[in-house]
Amino acid sequence: MSLDHRLSAEHEELRRTVEAFAHDVIAPKIGDLYERHEFPYEIVREMGRMGLFGLPFPEEYGGMGGDYLALGIALEELARVDSSVAITLEAGVSLGAMPIHLFGSEEQKREWLPRLCSGEILGAFGLTEPGAGSDAGGTRTTARLDETTNEWVINGGKCFITNSGTDITGLVTVTAVTGRKPDGSPLISAIIVPSGTPGFTVAPPYSKVGWNASDTRELSFDEVRVPAANLLGERGRGYAQFLRILDEGRIAIAALGTGLAQGCVDESVKYAAERHAFGKPIGANQAIQFKIADMDTRAYTARLAWRDAASRLVAGEPFKKQAAAAKLHSSTVAVDNARDATQIHGGYGFMNEYPVARMWRDSKILEIGEGTSEVQRMLIARELGVGGGRG
C-alpha cells in the first residue's frame, strides 16, 4: 500500500469545504448552543444538505459515493471548531447508518438509508448498558420471538446512547440476547427499533461535562414489539457486527480527536499573537513557542495515524491494530493539547467564551467512548500475540 497520505484533489476540496463551513457557520453559533445544552438542529440540517451524513455510502441509497477517509476528513475539520457537532455526525454515520449499510437486507437499506444519508433522520446504536460497556458480552437486554405475531419482544435498557432522543431520531439499533449457545454463553442479535415504538422510552438528556450540544440519553424497553423482519443481519451475529462497527468507528473517533488537537493549536497560535505580557506578545517567549510546537507535532502524528488506518480500511486490508493505535494516540493527544492550550490562555482558558475551554471539557470523553484507552491497549497487545493470542 502507498505510504503517501497527502489528500487527493477531491478529498482536499472536501476538506476546504467543511473547513469553511465550520468557521463560517458553526463557530459563530455553537458557543451559545453549547452553554444552553441545546442540540444544533439548524447546523445538522445544513450538514445534511451538504451530504455529510451520506459521505461513505453508495449513491444508489442516497449517499455521496465516498469512502471512510472522506468521513474522517469531515470529522477532523468539524472537530477543529466543535466536537458536539462532530460527534453528532460520527454517531449518525458510523453507529446509526453504517450497521444498516453493512448488515441490513436490501429492503432495510432502501427503507432507512436514503433518509439517514440526507440527514432527514438520525440513527443511533444501542449497545452500552449500565453493566455492559467494554464487556458487551454482559448484555442484559433480551429479545424473544413471539411466533404467534412474528414479532420481537424487547425488554431491558441502554445508557450513554448518542443521537437517541432528538426530534429527528428515526431509529435505534439495539443489541439484545436472543438465545443461548450450547455452552450457555449469550447469543446477541441486533434489532432495529423505530423511534416512537410503544414501550420504547427515551429519558431526558444527561447532564454532561462536555459534548453539551450533542444528544446523549438513557433508553428503556418494556415489552417493545417490532416485526421479526427488523432483525439486522443474522440472528446471533450482533456481537460480531458490533465489533466490526467499533473497529471502523475508532478511525472516526481518531479523526475527531485529531481535529480537537489541531483546534487547540489553531486557537493557541492566534492567542499567542494577540496576548501581550511585559510589553511583547506571549508568543515571543520560547516557553510558549515550544509548547505550541509540541502540540502541533502531536496533532501531526495523530493525523498520520488515523489516515493510515483509514487508507487500510478503504483498501480492504487488515486495519484493526492500526485503528486501535490511532484511537489511543489521538485521544491522548487531544487531552494533552487541550490541557496545554488552556494553560497558554491562562485565566481566559477557564472562561467558556473561549473555544479552548470547550475543547478542554470535550477532550476527556475521547479516552473513554468507543473503547477506553485501556481496551485499545488490550487490542493492540492481542494483535501482537501478547497475553492471549491474536484475535
Q: Is 195 helix (H, G, I), strand (E, B) or coil?
A: coil
Residue 130: helix, strand or coil by DSSP? coil
User: Mapping DSSP to helix (H, G, I), strand (E, B) and coil, where does residue 144 land?
Assistant: strand
Q: Which three cell numbers stand for residue 91?
A: 454517531
Kindly compute the dihedral angle of the four CA atoms of residues 295, 337, 44, 14, in this order, to the nearest 10 degrees: 10
| C-alpha span between 51 and 48 (Å, rounded) | 5
List of E strands, the chain: 122-126, 142-146, 151-162, 169-180, 186-194, 200-202, 216-227, 231-232, 276-277, 280-281
On whether the CB atoms of residues 199 and 222 are closer than 8 A, the answer is: yes
Extract the runs of DSSP E, i.e. beta strands, from 181-264.
186-194, 200-202, 216-227, 231-232
Partners of 176 in beta bridges: 189
Which bin fits 337, alpha (ψ -120 to 50), beta or left (φ > 0)?
alpha
Active site residue 147: no
Q: Which of 107, 370, 374, 383 is catalytic?
A: 370
Own/partner long-range contacts of 313-316 (Cβ < 8 Å, ≥24 apart): 313/68, 313/248, 313/251, 314/67, 314/68, 314/69, 315/1
DSSP letter at 60 equals G
Are 352 and 358 in contact, with CB atoms under 8 Å apart? Answer: yes
311 contact partners, CB below 8 Å, separation of at least 6? 1, 2, 5, 69
Rounded to whole angstroms, the Cα distance separating 269 from 15 reads 21
The torsion angles phi and psi of 143, rounded to 5 degrees, stand at -140, 125
Whose CA is closest to 162, among 197, 119, 209, 213?
213
Report the distance separating Cα 124 and Cα 120, nearest Å: 14
Among all residues, which ones are annotated catalytic? Answer: 370
